[in-house]
Amino acid sequence: MPLTIGTQLGSHEITALLGKGGMGEVYRARDLKLKREVAIKILPPEFAQDIDRISRFQREAEVLASLNHPNIANIYDLEEQGGSRYLVLELVEGETLADRIARGPIPVGEALKIAKQICQALEGAHEKGIIHRDLKPANVKLTPDGKIKVLDFGLAKAQERESPDGSLSNSPTISTMASQPGVILGTPAYMSPEQARGKMVDKRADIWAFGVILHEMLTGHRLFEGETVPDTLAAVLEREPDVTNVPAKMRPLLRACLKKDPNQRLHDIADAMLLLEIEDVQATAANPGWLWPALAAAGLLGMLILGFLHFRETKPLDVTARFEMTLPYESFPFGTYLALSPDGRYLAFTATEPDGVQRLWLRAMEAIQPRMIPGTDDSVSPFWSPDSKWLGFVVGGQVKKVEVTGNSPPVTVAEVPNAGMGAWNKDGIIVFGNRAANGGLTRVAASGGALTKLTSIDPNRKEIGHSFPAFLPDGKHFVYIRSSSEPSLTGIFIGSIDMKPEDPLPQMLVQTNYGAVFVASPAVEGGGWLLYLRGSTLMAQPFDVNAMKLLGEPLPIAESVGAAGSAGFFSASPSGALAYRPTTGVTSILSWFDRQGKPIGTLGGPEAYSELAISPDGSQVAAFRRDRVGEDLWLIDVKRASSARLTTDKANESYPVWSPDGIQIVFGSNRNGTNVFDLYRKSAGVSGQEELFLKDDGRKLPLDWSRDGRFLLYLYERQGQKSALWYLPIQEKEPKPVKYLATQFNESNARFSPDGRWVVYASDISSRSEVYVSSFPDATAAPAVLVSTEGGRLPRWRRDGKALYYLSLDSKLTEVEVTPGSPFKVGVPKALFEAPVVQFNDPAGWPWDVTDDQRFLFNTKQQSSPPVTVVINWQASLKK
């Protein structure tokens, strides 16, 4: 007996009947406890003792509970009352796909959007080892906001007489047992031939049903239809699918989905999604606002993929295809880490968004646009699990991992200050670099646990880091780079997961400044290729995986490949995909502006400058610049626009601060073989001597030097603590650091007032960056004064001390008149102009400065960041 309106099941009140089926009735209900609308699927009392139906009902609950996907309806609970079991499900509003098709054929563009979401739902299920087995338009809901939801995963309906309305879209599931050969399971009109014969089925049965549904969406008519269920089954088994009545460009995909022999059918729903994306490229290219104009490349890629999908059982194509991928945001000034998944289906990369935060992004090869991975703020160094299901990365002092489905938050694997790039082997072991003092390579289980040290930095070789491990096929050995301040000692070495820090130094494989990767290839002598950079040229050299040595001569495979630090901007997968990107060096230019925002000239040519500091007399600009030689400070002569390298150490030198007389510069550097920056001092001349100024186990980044020469203000960071402000009384005989402002929030970008009595800084105390002023040397002598009104960052004093400048959160250069005193008074912020500054979010660096005559120097974007080049089957080009 059906339930009546008003019946209460637990905390759920029935409000309407939604439908009936072989497994019972589905009702709309109100969750009185959580105040939400739900769907109730109930197993009627007459089936309460049917062991088979109860087990299938339980299985449906378990299947739904294992799936967490935006295109699959959720389950909330499985409950029992009055002898009946029922499921509490997500209530999906909207019409079914069957209802939509009943109104007529669906336009190609709309059908593509629906089809891609069905593919995404099936892919999510198939990755969990779950096959739908009953995919049909009646089991697909179209929500009012344009999303689709696939229903009834894992459902095996009981046999019942034909549907009274004769609709084969809603016809019953034929039988009961999903896993037994000889038993038919599925809805006849959408059933694969192997299902119709009662054979064991796999995910290719869902691909067949998807093809039938896509045909029905495009034509408005069912592909297989008979007067009775047996007639329909006969049509599925005997009639070759006719796809001539669909648009010509859709026929190859439909034919691939509707091969009667499952061995010739598409093997993976992702293959169908990829082909749908290619069609979407062509459909979208006519839009003048389209941001992905690589249509020709996509067409070539489509032909290659079609050939691969249809002929992979016989002979792989000896074809190389190239296409370009434009990144969603600029990656200036830090470059871009690239990481292709082992199966070649995804490219992970880092990109800095408009809010100045660098995050991880994921681009599926079959997708037009990438997606940002939540929970990856300030992340670097992405690396993959061998099964391509997890993405590892480093953020702060943590090694983390996240599922690529994006359905779960990142998980912390290990707490390690200054962790570097990692590699993940087939046995679940992660090896990662560590640039901390006495550091090197460390291993840890991917599930977490104890850390095991593998290498230590060798001071006799002037080493500054061990990084970028990449596993060889045995999963035990890996290649990695040992970086030294002596270029001749920097190169690729072989390590193993069983090595110990005291082990003898292995022989260098090849001298290079950047990490390498290995790509297996049975067709290559020795077992595969070692890929590494020689200058800006990406080389491939045969590598003997048994003898652990290089063979023959290296071959060039890509030119103008970028790099930064020890990272080359390239990645390769065992599947035959290669991705690389040119250097991001030429992405900005120093430009002068007046108070109205009018451009009044440039300073030098386009270079990757950042962290600008104009000298006290305005004659020079000190700036950080990364190039192939190193990460150094440069001096730029304002009148002549000439530039010269100020620092030359292989380590990172950055964050320049001028002495009040313009004779010296203090900067931060990690040259002691650590990533814990110490402070150094050098005369502001190319030939000047450098001296260690302040050293401890924290990360110290200089901010400002008071005009009276007495104090040096700097940012202090320690693992697990917020960034704080400290100062050093320079003129004392034995200067000792003094804590100025350390709270439970991040303080950054601080500057002394011209009279030395105040400090302006940015803080996230109000959950967004705002600009404040505090008294000096005692920040608690008076309450901090809020300067900005709607967020602010990167503040500087006007050089007469009577005004402050800062950038608003939407990058407007803002001026605030101030009156120092007791109390410190601030005026109303006034936006001067929209600052053309490159997006920049550095707690100790400024991408702009101002002179005495109120000319503003900005690091402005010169050109878009170069795209990533993706090469499919790159080894084929080496054979020619």
Percent of all residues in the chain with a pLDDT value above 70, rounded to a whole number: 83
The winner for highest mean pLDDT among 154-163, 626-635, 758-767 is: 758-767
CB 347 within 8 A of CB 856: no
Query: What average pLDDT does this structure show over 138-145?
Result: 89
Does residue 301 carry a pLDDT above 50?
Answer: no
Q: Is the pLDDT of residue 442 over 80?
A: yes
Higher pLDDT, 11 or 154: 11
For 314, residues 6+ apart whose C-beta sits below 8 A from its C-beta are: none
Q: What is the pLDDT of residue 462?
A: 82
State if pTM tops 0.75: no
Categorize the per-residue pLDDT at 843 as very low, low, confident or very high, splitting at 50, 70 and 90.
confident
Task: Give the integer Cα–Cα distance in Å for 64 and 60.
Answer: 6
State which of 67-81, 215-229, 591-605 shows the largest mean pLDDT. 591-605
- Nearest one of 374, 392, 371, 372 to 382, comparing CA atoms: 392
pLDDT exceeds 70 at position 298: no
**Strand pairing of 95-96 and 140-142?**
antiparallel
Residue 297: its H or E element = helix 295-311
User: Domains of the chain by range and CATH?
Assistant: 8-90 (3.30.200.20), 95-284 (1.10.510.10), 329-576 (2.120.10.30), 588-861 (2.120.10.30)
Q: Residue 702 pLDDT > 50, yes or no?
A: yes
pLDDT in the model for residue 542: 94
787/589 Cα distance (integer angstroms): 30
Q: How confident is the model at residue 278 (pLDDT cuts 50, 70, 90)?
A: low
Per-residue confidence (pLDDT) for residue 51, from 0 to 100: 66
Question: Tokens in use for 179?
Answer: 């896993």
Once rounded to an integer, what is the mean pLDDT over residues 289-317? 41
The answer to whether the CB of 829 falls within 8 A of the CB of 789 is yes
Q: What is the pLDDT of residue 815?
A: 97
Least confident piece of the model among 194-198, 314-318, 873-877: 314-318
Least-confidence region, from 184-193, 613-622, 796-805? 184-193
Tens of pLDDT, residue by residue over 651-700, are 889 999 999 999 999 999 988 755 578 999 999 876 667 889 899 888 89
Q: What is the spatial distance between Cα 542 and Cα 23, in angstroms, rounded to a whole number?
A: 60
Specify the DSSP class assigned to residue 820: -
Does residue 149 or residue 281 have the better pLDDT? 149
The CA-CA-CA angle for residues 268, 271, 274, to 5°, reads: 150
The partner residues of 859 in beta bridges, in order of sequence, read: 590
pLDDT number for residue 45: 62
Q: What's the longest Cα–Cα distance across the chain?
A: 101
Only one residue has tokens 């030395």, namely: 756
Stretch (H or E) spanning 35: none
Q: Where are the alpha helices (DSSP H) in 47-147?
A: 51-66, 97-102, 108-127
Residue 541 clears pLDDT 50, i.e. is over it:
yes
pLDDT attached to residue 661: 94
pLDDT(56) > 80: no
According to the model, what pLDDT value does residue 182 have? 35
Evaluate if residue 157 carries a pLDDT over 50: no
Q: Could you tell me if 86 and 80 are in contact, meaning their C-beta atoms sit under 8 angstroms apart?
A: yes
Residue 548: per-residue pLDDT: 93
What integer is the mean pLDDT of 732-753?
93
At CA 444, angle to CA 441 and CA 448, rounded to 5? 150
Report the range of poorest mean pLDDT among 90-99, 154-163, 809-818: 154-163
pLDDT of 423: 94
Contact 180, 56 (CB under 8 A): no
The pLDDT assigned to 166 comes to 35
Name the strand (E) or helix (H) holding 296: helix 295-311
Least trusted range by pLDDT, from 129-143, 570-584, 643-657: 570-584
pLDDT of 581: 86
DSSP string for 188-232: GGG--HHHHTT----THHHHHHHHHHHHHHHHSS-SS--SSHHHH
Identify the pLDDT of residue 452.
Answer: 92
- Element holding 254 (H helix, E strand): helix 251-257
Mean pLDDT across the chain: 82
Percentage of residues in the chain having pLDDT higher than 90: 39
pLDDT score of 291: 34
Name the pLDDT band for 280 (thresholds 50, 70, 90): low
| Confidence check: pLDDT of 305 > 50 | no
pLDDT of residue 539: 94
Is the pLDDT confidence value at 12 over 70? yes
Residue-level pLDDT at 294: 39
Classify 152 in phi/psi space as left (phi over 0), alpha (psi -120 to 50) or beta.
left
Confidence of residue 85 (pLDDT cuts 50, 70, 90): confident
Convert the pLDDT of each residue in 622-647 to its tens digit: 999 877 677 899 999 999 888 999 99
Compute how many other C-beta atoms are within 10 angstroms of the C-beta atom of residue 318. 11
CA 392, 394, 400, 402 torsion-angle sign: negative
Give the mean model confidence (pLDDT) for residues 849-855: 91
Q: Which residue has the higher pLDDT, 734 or 758?
A: 758
